[in-house]
C-alpha cells in the first residue's frame, strides 16, 4: 500500500471510529435498558397469572396500584416514601461497589429511627427545631457508622464473612431499638410501647404547595452527589479498583483496612440517616416491633440499576408507587399485603435468570461488579479454580 493511499484512508478511518464508538454506546444503553426493565415486566406478568390462580383480578390490582399510588394527590405519598428508599439505596450502593455485603440494613435503619424518635422530643423541647434536627441527623449517622465497626474490623483484619456478621449485628440492632422504645424512650402517657409523638410544627417542613417533606429533596441531592463522587472523583476510582480486586488495590497503595472500615461506616451511616429522616418527615414517633424492611424490598432495584445512584432513582420510584398503591389495591383484590413481597421476589428471580442468560449471550454488562460477583459465587465453588 502506497503512502498516498494510506493518507487517503486515514481520514476515513478517523471518521468511522467515532461512529463505531457511538454504535457501541447505543447498544450498551439498549442492553442496559433491556436488562433493567425485562425482569420487572416478567415479574408483573407472572404475578398477574398467580393472582388469576388465586381467584383475584390482576387488572383490578394494577388499576388499584395506579389509583392509590399516582392519581389525585397520591403521587405525593409515593414521593414521601421515596425519601428513605433512595437514601438506603445509595447506602447499599456504596458498600456493594466496594465488594462489601452490608446486609445489616434493617438494624441500622431502626437505630437511626430510634435516635430521632427517642431523643427528638427532648431536644425539640429545649432548642430551636433546626438545631435539634441537625443534631439528630448527625447523631443518627454516627450511630449507624459506629454500629458497623464490628463487622468492618472483623472483615478488614481477619477476613470474616461480613454477610454473617452484618446480619448478626442487624438482629442485635433491632433488639436494642425495641428495648429502648419499651424502656427509656417509652412515652409514659400511653400504655402502648411507643415513643412520644413529635409535634407537627417540629417535623421536617413541606415543599411549598405540596405534602412532601424536604427529606425527598435531600435524598435526590444525595443521590446526585453520590453519583458524582463515585464516577468523577479519585475516591470513586479507588473504590472501584478496591471493589474489582482488593489485592490490586493494595499494590497501587490503597489501604484496604481503612477502605473496608470507611465504606462500611458510610453505608451504615447513610441507612441510619434514612431512618431519622423517615421519622422526622413522616411518622413522628416509633412503636416497638415496627420494621418496614425497606432494605429487603429495595435490594433488587439496586442491582437492576447496576449500582448507579442516579439509575436507582426511577427504579425506586417504581417500587414506591407499587408499595403505596399496592397496599390498598391488594386488600381490594382480596390479596394479602405480603403479596407485594412476592412481586419483589419475582423481580429478584427474573433478574438472576437474566444475569445467567446475559452472561451466556454477552448481553451487556453484569448487574454485579466483577469482584462482588466472585465473592457471591465463592461459597458455591467446589475447588479453588472456580468450577461449579
Q: To which residue does cell 493511499 refer?
A: 5
Tell me the mean pLDDT in the region 164-177.
93
Q: Which of 267, 240, 268 is nearest to 252 (CA)?
A: 240
Comparison of pLDDT for 205 and 244, the residue scoring more: 205
Comparison of pLDDT for 79 and 375, the residue scoring more: 79
The region of weakest confidence among 60-69, 104-113, 175-184 is: 60-69
Tell me how far the alpha carbon of residue 152 is from its chain's centroid. Answer: 19
Tell me the mean pLDDT in the region 94-111.
92
Whether 216 contacts 83, CB under 8 Å:
yes
pLDDT in tens, 61-85: 999 899 888 888 889 999 999 999 9
Comparison of pLDDT for 26 and 324, the residue scoring more: 324
Predicted confidence at residue 3, as pLDDT, reads 41
Three-state SS string over 123-153 comes to HHHHCCHHHHHHHHHHHHHHHHHHHCHHHHH
Q: How confident is the model at residue 36 (pLDDT cuts 50, 70, 90)?
A: confident
Predicted confidence at residue 376, as pLDDT, reads 57
Tell me the mean pLDDT in the region 365-385.
56
Q: How confident is the model at residue 327 (pLDDT cuts 50, 70, 90)?
A: confident
Give all domains of the chain, ordered by start, each with its CATH number. Answer: 57-355 (1.10.3470)
Is the pLDDT confidence value at 357 over 70? yes
Phi-psi region of 288 (alpha: psi -120 to 50; beta: other; left: phi over 0): beta
Length of the chain counted residue by residue: 388
Q: How confident is the model at residue 379 (pLDDT cuts 50, 70, 90)?
A: low
Is the pLDDT confidence value at 109 over 50? yes
Tell me the mean pLDDT in the region 367-378.
59
Predicted confidence at residue 369, as pLDDT, reads 59
Amino acid at each position: 500500500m502506497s503512502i498516498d493511499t494510506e493518507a487517503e484512508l486515514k481520514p476515513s478511518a478517523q471518521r468511522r471510529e467515532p461512529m463505531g464508538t457511538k454504535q457501541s454506546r447505543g447498544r450498551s444503553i439498549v442492553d442496559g435498558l433491556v436488562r433493567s426493565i425485562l425482569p420487572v415486566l416478567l415479574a408483573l406478568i407472572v404475578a398477574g397469572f398467580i393472582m388469576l390462580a388465586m381467584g383475584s383480578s390482576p387488572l383490578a390490582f394494577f388499576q388499584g396500584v395506579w389509583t392509590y399510588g399516582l392519581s389525585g394527590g397520591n403521587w405525593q405519598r409515593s414521593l414521601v416514601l421515596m425519601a428513605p428508599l433512595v437514601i438506603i439505596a445509595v447506602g447499599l450502593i456504596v458498600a456493594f461497589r466496594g465488594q462489601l455485603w452490608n446486609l445489616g440494613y434493617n438494624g441500622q435503619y431502626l437505630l437511626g429511627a430510634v435516635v430521632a424518635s427517642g431523643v427528638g422530643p427532648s431536644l425539640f423541647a429545649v432548642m430551636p427545631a433546626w438545631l435539634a434536627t441537625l443534631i439528630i441527623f448527625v447523631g443518627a449517622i454516627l450511630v449507624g457508622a459506629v454500629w458497623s465497626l464490628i463487622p468492618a474490623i472483623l472483615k478488614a483484619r481477619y477476613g470474616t464473612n461480613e454477610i454473617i456478621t452484618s446480619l448478626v449485628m442487624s438482629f442485635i440492632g433491632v433488639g436494642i431499638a425495641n428495648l429502648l422504645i419499651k424502656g427509656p424512650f417509652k412515652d409514659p402517657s400511653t400504655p402502648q410501647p411507643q415513643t412520644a409523638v413529635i409535634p407537627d410544627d417540629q417535623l421536617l417542613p413541606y415543599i411549598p404547595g405540596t405534602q412532601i417533606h424536604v427529606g425527598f429533596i435531600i435524598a435526590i441531592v444525595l443521590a446526585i452527589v453520590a453519583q458524582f463522587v463515585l464516577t468523577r472523583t479519585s475516591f470513586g476510582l479507588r473504590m472501584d479498583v478496591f471493589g474489582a480486586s482488593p489485592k490490586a488495590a493494595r499494590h497501587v497503595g490503597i489501604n484496604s483496612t481503612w477502605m473496608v472500615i470507611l465504606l462500611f461506616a458510610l453505608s451504615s451511616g447513610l441507612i441510619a440517616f434514612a431512618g431519622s429522616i423517615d421519622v422526622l418527615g413522616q411518622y413522628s414517633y416509633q412503636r416497638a416491633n415496627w420494621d418496614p424492611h425497606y432494605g429487603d424490598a429495595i435490594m433488587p432495584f439496586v442491582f437492576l440499576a447496576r449500582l448507579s445512584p442516579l439509575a436507582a432513582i426511577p427504579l425506586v420510584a417504581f417500587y414506591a408507587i407499587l408499595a403505596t398503591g399496592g397496599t390498598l389495591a391488594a386488600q381490594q383484590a382480596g390479596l394479602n399485603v405480603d403479596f407485594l413481597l412476592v412481586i419483589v421476589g419475582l423481580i429478584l428471580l427474573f433478574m438472576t435468570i437474566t444475569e445467567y442468560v446475559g452472561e451466556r449471550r454477552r448481553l451487556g454488562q453484569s448487574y454485579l461488579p466483577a469482584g462482588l460477583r466472585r465473592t457471591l459465587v465463592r461459597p458455591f465453588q467446589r475447588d479453588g479454580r472456580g468450577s461449579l
